[in-house]
Amino acid sequence: MDAKNLNEQNEKMDYFVDVIHHLKTPFNHIKGLATLLEKSRTLTPEQVTYIELIKASAQSGLEMTTNLLDLNSHEINSSIKTELVELDNFVGDRILQFNPIALVKNIGFTINIEAKSICTDKGYLATIFDNLTCNAIKFSPADSTIGIQVIQSIEGIKISIKDQGPGFTEHDKTYLYHRFKKLSANPTGGETSNGLGLAIVKQLVDKLDGNIELNSIAGQGSEFIVTIPSHSIR
């Protein structure tokens, strides 16, 4: 990369980091207001469920901004905190927050959880899972299905997220994990894409000593398979 392109890349990152810092405030406000609403005695069960989703989404946004800041400052290199993650509950909780946006496009999920648990950094695992699931929803056509599978493996666990979207060209695969690189496919429902999601996933997978694979043919959907080894609690 020449000096001009490197300077442009650094300027983009500086701008993006500044935006992330400012995003933490509205996420905290949303979470706080949802907590206040939750104290009302006149809420219906359905309203309580929606408030819980709002709080979960705000918390997810806060975690995402924190991870992005970590990625930029390299603080990620010393911040792994492992714990036992019950995978059935974990996947259920993650999918719950995506149901409202998936319903907009009438996208369904098929879920198969065969592994029971893993000892890893739950926050990093959530960011990996959320980014891949969010991408699958963004690029899936209406009335389609996203398949999610978690199985036990010799290495630890394998998480598969498979969609029926446009897939990746061979050219796309060359730049798959590059920051700010927008690939040829466009979201199917007018959603935005900043070109950072897969770069974040790759760095977090590497940090957890894992591996990520892509099975995709242009026009025939995509399947990301993430292998995460189990760590000792620390």
Q: How far apart are the first and last CA of the chain?
A: 39
Domains, in order of start, for the chain: 3-77 (1.20.58), 80-229 (3.30.565.10)
Are 120 and 129 spatial neighbours (Cβ–Cβ below 8 Å)? no
Are 56 and 97 spatial neighbours (Cβ–Cβ below 8 Å)? yes
Quote the CA–CA distance of 72 and 91 in Å, as a whole number. Answer: 27
Closest-CA residue to 94 (of 65, 133, 46, 152): 133
Structural element, H or E, at residue 15: helix 3-38
pLDDT in tens, the chain (234 residues): 566 665 666 666 667 667 777 777 888 888 888 888 888 888 898 998 888 888 878 877 776 776 667 666 544 455 688 899 999 999 999 998 888 888 888 999 999 999 999 999 998 899 899 989 988 998 899 999 999 999 998 888 999 999 998 888 888 888 787 766 666 666 665 555 656 678 888 988 998 999 999 998 888 889 999 999 987 655
Given this model, what pLDDT does residue 7 score? 67
Given this model, what pLDDT does residue 208 score? 92
User: Does pTM surpass 0.85?
Assistant: no
Given this model, what pLDDT does residue 75 score? 44
Are 208 and 188 spatial neighbours (Cβ–Cβ below 8 Å)? no
Given this model, what pLDDT does residue 71 score? 62
Are 138 and 188 spatial neighbours (Cβ–Cβ below 8 Å)? yes
